[in-house]
Structure 1
Amino acid sequence: MGSDSEPEIEQNDELQKFLGTTSFGKQTRQKPKDDSVQKQVESTKRSVPEESRPGKASRKAKDSDDDSDDDDDESDDEDEFPVSHEMIIKTHDKAVTAVTLDPSGSRLVTGSMDCSLKLHDFASMTPTTIRAFRSVDPTESKSSNAESHPINQVIFNPISAGHILTTTALPQARVLSREGDMLVEFAKGDMYLRDMHHTKGHVSEVTTGTWHPTDRNLCVTAGTDSTLRIWDINNARSQKEVIVHKSKAAGSAGRSRMTAVAWGSPMQGGNNILVATALDGTMSMWNGEGPYSRPAAEIREAHAPNTWTSGVDISADGRLVVTRGGDDTIKTWDTRKFKQPLATISHASTSAQYASTSIRFTSNSANIITGSETGHLHILNPATLRPELVTPVTRGSALITATWHPKINQIITGSANGETHILYNPNTSTGGANFVMSRAPKRRHVDDDPNFTTDLSQGISNDAVILPGGSAPSATSFAARHPNVGLTASGRSRDPRRPHVPQTTPFAKGNPDEGYVKSQIPLSSLRDEDPREALLKYADKAKNDPLFTNAWKETQPETIYAEVSDDEEEPDKKKQKQ
């Protein structure tokens, strides 16, 4: 045996079992088993019947003669649409009317008829903690008697992820930060002015809104005052442009409610277009950069009059427009021949109950995505409007809004039962729900169990003292023995008799600084000026060059005052009445 060879040591399993695996030095943390994560992902797999895929069935019938490619076609069809798995978020009490994701797909914001916005961060979620990290009421006001209103539209800025446009039943739309704080509140117009061109803002409810496709500072809002208003978020006191829709419907007095608006720009460049629909059935199109004095094209009765056209969208190439009307139809239009629809199909509308029912093109305009009153998700062919995929999401509950995020390749839906569903495919989707469900289950610490912790918010009582050699007076936790003391895990009081603490108003969150006051409030610098000094600095000029007494300057007699010496006595004061 050579000197370089190492001696072989006989392995003793019993000795190793007795000593354990404890060792010294730097240790490598064992990774969680892939089996647990795989089971976790498989638990979210959807069980969808085969008959809910008419597009897939038709392609199979067409390729029935070629048996060699059946397996490849089936796998391609499964990966074409990310609907194999789903993650459910139950954070709202009423119908979810709007969903939006930031451009990176890391933050989700949902709006509901319960008058609240829920902010979700996928990075902080785990499979056991699927919930919102903040709830915001965008209609909160300085007035303590202010009422909350349902959310009509919520949409992230496609260029700047720090701005969220929010519209409610109020005439003032707001721009929030990605943390839910209010940044901008647009002005309200004078309701007593007849001409809407002269008002500085909407005078009635704002139904919807959207962002400019290329300018991060511009957005447009549609209101029930028959106007579209283009805003610059840097100047919220007045709109930048106002577009007044003049209705020709009988008995409308020239006004009609604006129901939907879309602002699109071709991906290959060119002029962007602005399309809006009204309650009288009219659909109008303007050049996105103006002028807005009259529409470039207009279609009377694009949908049935007095029906709510809830959804409108523009394709990525700027050539197609899709609308979903309250007359139970979906139509596509060619912007180059803006007269007759290219295709029309019958589709039951839910705009009578939910005015924010949406319809959208995908990012590459290869499909159209929308929901139905039965809770099914419809993915349509934009050329023929035939369904490529119809899959149930919330059976028996209307699916109101749906969007397909291109970066994470996931479909987010909002339904009338208050649920938000995120459909994904573990093989083709990245981030979002796939990231949450692929995380290893969190190991519970002993301190996470409230039964083994003590609530010290009310101090330590004599019952909580454990004497040496004794035992705890009760096996139950402090929270179980005192159900009305302290706070819950969400921060709410356990005592139902405790009065509601009013929320902090936006004014109290941050007072305007000196720079803001000087730049936004005219003549604000006069508050720091001494009025006596302001007048005295013109004393010499008034004496040398009088303005009002210049006519008799030469003939004005010199004023002579009586001189009083110190020896003279002061005049007697008036005697006080007795």
Structure 2
Amino acid sequence: MLPTSFGKQETSVDVEAQIERCRRAIVDERQAAAIQSKAEAEKDSDDDDSDSDEDEEDEFPVSHELILKTHERPITSVTLDPSGTRLITGSTDCTLKLHDLASMTPTTIRAFKTVDPFATKSSATAESHSIHQVLYSPHSGNQFLVITATSQARLFDRDGEMQAEYQKGDMYLRDKHNTKGHTSEVTCCAWHPTNRELFVTGGTDSTIRIWEVSKRFKQKEVIVHKSKAAGSAGMTRITALAWAAPAGGGNTIIVAAALDGSLVMYSGEGPYYRPTAEIRDAHAKDTWTSGLDISPDGRLVITRGGDDTIKLWDTRKFTKPVQTASHPSTSSQYPTSNIRFAPNGGSVLTGSETGHLHILNPATLRPELVTPVTPGSPLITVEWHPKLNQIITGSANGRTTILFNPKTSSNGALTVMSKAPKKRHLDDDPSLTTFMDPAGLSGDAIVTPGGLPGQTNSFSARHPTIGLTASGRSRDPRRPHVPAQTPFAKTTPDERHIRESIPLSSMRDEDPREALMKYAPKPGEKSMFTGAWEKTQPKTLYKEVDSDGEEAEEEREAKRTKF
């Protein structure tokens, strides 16, 4: 009856059982009906066929799923870093959710941080806008771009701290080449495929702007798309764009779609005064082309238009579509509905208004797999990570779904389901815990011992060293005094705003004489700016003045003044 071992006992985790619980009931609706209609007597004779069906299911990582419910409103964009450990989702609730797949467990599937892109603004100018696009840098996972329904793009670091807010242009200037940034709402963005210091944005001001990461006060290049559609006065809206490099080397290409139905292609290295190729009627006019992507080899372009069509284009013959297929559009309600090439370029995936994921053959644009992800709720955004071999989708019901296959996928959702469930702790139940703010004050009222029922006092009443004085100053020595903000101070720009928004504003505190004397030559040293003219300078001559003559002149001047 003696125990076989002593000390803490670690319970083993049945990883296969946990992963099996993630298996999806229906993988392909087209094959589900055929499987049910098969007779049991034909199973033995169709062993080879069943093996081939299993091989087809393993071709796409959709056999299992992991669900993340961290938003309450539609998810407009999803992105993963190159390593596949950080997942970011953006929503119409104006927030970003940061997820760390490496630290999740089957019972702690949640975001570790919520980021408001406008949290750095003062309360007087606080605002909230829907998230249009979130895009990790493909070169490193240290930064990501955020495009909101404003005229400014924002750059964040890996932990969700804003690094830069790029310049806004003057909306009263008619010449878009002379503005330092977008003058109206930015709709899309893309990173340079090889240069980590460049990215491009497109906006409703009919411009495509190339930015340098380190220079936020002005864009590097401005491409003004002049619409040829009648009645548009040469202005239209850029709805989607992509930046890719050809597999065989050479210049990169930028492809953009506009509201007037046009599709334009530019050389990524310039010049930008005119497009390399342009298709005027790529999609129907005044329909929002929400999806656009370039194949990994840079030869094909896929677009999903607001005219309920998907079209495939060849960059070498950019005149007419190679293939056209009918597909209901959701861009009128969700303008960020996208379409993506698979990492190997052998498939195309997009969502539908019925909540299904469609995987298409790029040669024919016919569906190879149609699987339900969120039935009854439109599937807005999709992404296929090349390293994880997993598909991430975002739906209108606020649900993020990670589709994977244990045989072909790696890390990501498999890492989550391979861990033991976290044991529930007392702190996990909010009804049994008390929230403590940074100053050490309890958010809940505390009943005074011996007091009458219903009579409560604050925590500061029991501890006079913690709380506020009569003048409003904190008694806690750890908490600095925050002065009251007047209405005038709310609208007055502070030092930080001037330093971050006005170029060279730090020179206002510099003594001009000392700034110039820094460049003054030392004895025997050549001047930095005028050294080339030292030998050719003329000799300085001064006027010879007689002292007696000066006195006589003064007497004559005094007499004139007297009379």
TM-score by length of 1: 0.76
Secondary structure at the counterpart of residue 54 of structure 2: helix
Pairing 1:103–2:82 present:
yes
Q: Which of the residues 345, 348, 354 maps onto 1:365? A: 345
2:309 maps to what in 1?
Answer: 329
* Secondary structure class of the residue paired with 2:255: strand
Q: Describe the superposition over 1:38-62 as per-residue Cα deviations: whole angstroms up to 9, x where unpaired.
A: 33222221111653459999xx9xx
3-state SS of the aligned residue for 2:102? helix
Label 1:418 to 1:556 Cα distance change in 2 as closer, same or farther (>3 A).
farther
Q: Residue 268 of structure 1: CA displacement?
A: 3.6
Q: Does 1:355 align with 2:338?
A: no
> Which residue number in structure 2 is paired with residue 282 of structure 1?
262
| Partner AA of 1:156 in structure 2 | Y
Shift of the 324–30 alpha-carbon distance from structure 1 to 2, 3 Å rule, reads: same
CA contact (8 A) 1:174 1:184 kept: yes
Q: CA deviation at 1:266?
A: 2.2
> What corresponds to 1:136 in structure 2?
115
Q: Secondary structure at the match of 1:286?
A: strand
State the secondary structure of the residue aligned to 2:413.
helix
SS at match of 2:357: strand
- Tell me the residue number matched to 1:112: 91
Within-5 A mapping of 1:401-480: 401-445=381-425
Structure 2 residue 71 is matched with structure 1 residue 92: yes
Question: Contact 2:188–2:240 at 8 Å: present in 1 too?
Answer: yes
The partner residue of 1:379 within 340, 353, 359 is 359
Q: Tell me which moved more, 93-102 or 434-443.
A: 434-443
Hey, what's the Cα distance between the residues in 1 that align with 2:112 and 2:273? 45
The answer as to whether partners of 2:184 and 2:203 remain within 8 angstroms in 1 is yes
CA contact (8 A) 1:263 1:273 kept: yes
Query: Structure 1 CA distance, aligned partners of 2:195 and 2:141?
Result: 13
Q: Is the 8 A contact 2:13 2:419 kept in 1?
A: no
Say which SS state the counterpart of residue 124 (structure 1) adopts.
coil
The yes-or-no answer on 1:247 pairing with 2:230 is no
Note closer, same or farther for the CA distance 1:346–1:525 as it changes in structure 2 (3 Å cut): same
Superposition map of 1:3-14 within 5 A:
13=1
Counterpart amino acid of residue 521 in structure 1: L
SS of equivalent to 1:242: strand
Tell me which residue corresponds to 1:152. Answer: 132
| Cα offset, 1:368, TM superposition | 0.5
Cα contact 1:100–1:155 (8 A) shared by 2? yes
SS at match of 2:282: coil
Alpha-carbon distance in structure 1 between the residues aligned to 2:516 and 2:219: 40
Aligned twin of 1:123: 102
**Matched-pair contact (CA < 8 Å) for 1:97–1:401:** yes
Give yes or no for contact 1:54–1:388 (8 Å, CA) kept in 2.
no
- Match for residue 23 of structure 2? 45
Q: What is the distance in 1 between the residues matched to 2:303 and 2:333?
A: 18
- How far does residue 532 in structure 1 lie from its aligned partner after superposition? 13
What are the ranges of 5 or more consecutive residues in structure 1 without an aligned counterpart? 1-12, 466-480, 487-501, 538-549, 561-578
Instruction: Indicate how the Cα distance of structure 1 residues 238 and 44 shifts in structure 2: closer, same or farther if over 3 A, else same.
Output: same
User: Residue 336 of structure 1 aligns to a residue in which SS?
Assistant: helix
**Shift in CA distance, 148/75, structure 1 to aligned 2, threshold 3 Å:** same
What pairs up with 1:162-173 in 2 under 5 angstroms? 162-173=142-153
Q: State the Cα distance separating 1:357 from its structure 2 match.
A: 0.6
The equivalent of 2:205 in structure 1 is: 225
Relative to the length of structure 2, the TM-score reads 0.78
Q: Which amino acid aligns with 1:391?
A: T
Give the counterpart of 1:70 among 49, 60, 67.
49
Distance (whole Å) between structure 2 residues aligned to residue 308 and residue 533 of structure 1: 56
The answer to whether structure 1 residue 79 and structure 2 residue 79 are counterparts is no
Which stretch of the first structure deviates more once superposed, 301-310 or 550-559? Answer: 550-559
How many pairs align? 487
Amino acid at match of 1:81: F
Equivalent in the alignment of 1:524: 507
Distance in 1 of aligned mates of 2:459 and 2:108:
25
Matched, 1:216 2:196: yes
The percentage of aligned residue pairs carrying the same residue is: 57
- Do 1:52 and 1:392's aligned partners in 2 also have CA atoms closer than 8 Å? no
CA contact (8 A) 1:53 1:390 kept: no
- Cα separation, partners in 2 of 1:318 and 1:447, compared to 1, 3 Å: closer
The residue identity in structure 1 corresponding to 2:20 is: E
Tell me how far apart the structure 1 counterparts of residues 101 and 276 of structure 2 sit (CA, whole Å): 43
Asked if residue 304 in structure 1 is aligned to residue 284 in structure 2, the reply is yes
* Cα shift at 1:208: 0.5
Distance in structure 2 (CA, Å) of the matches to 1:533 and 1:325? 59
* 3-state secondary structure, aligned to 1:270: coil
Distance 1:394 1:447, change over 3 A: closer
| Structure with larger Rg | 1
Distance in 2 of aligned mates of 1:419 and 1:559: 96
Partner of 1:472: none
Deviation at 1:211, TM superposition (A): 0.2
The AA in structure 1 aligned to 2:277 is A
Task: Return the offset for 1:302.
Answer: 0.1
Q: Which moved more, 1:260-269 or 1:278-287?
A: 260-269
Secondary structure at the residue paired with 1:123?
A: coil
Check whether the contact 2:264–2:279 (CA below 8 A) recurs between aligned residues.
yes
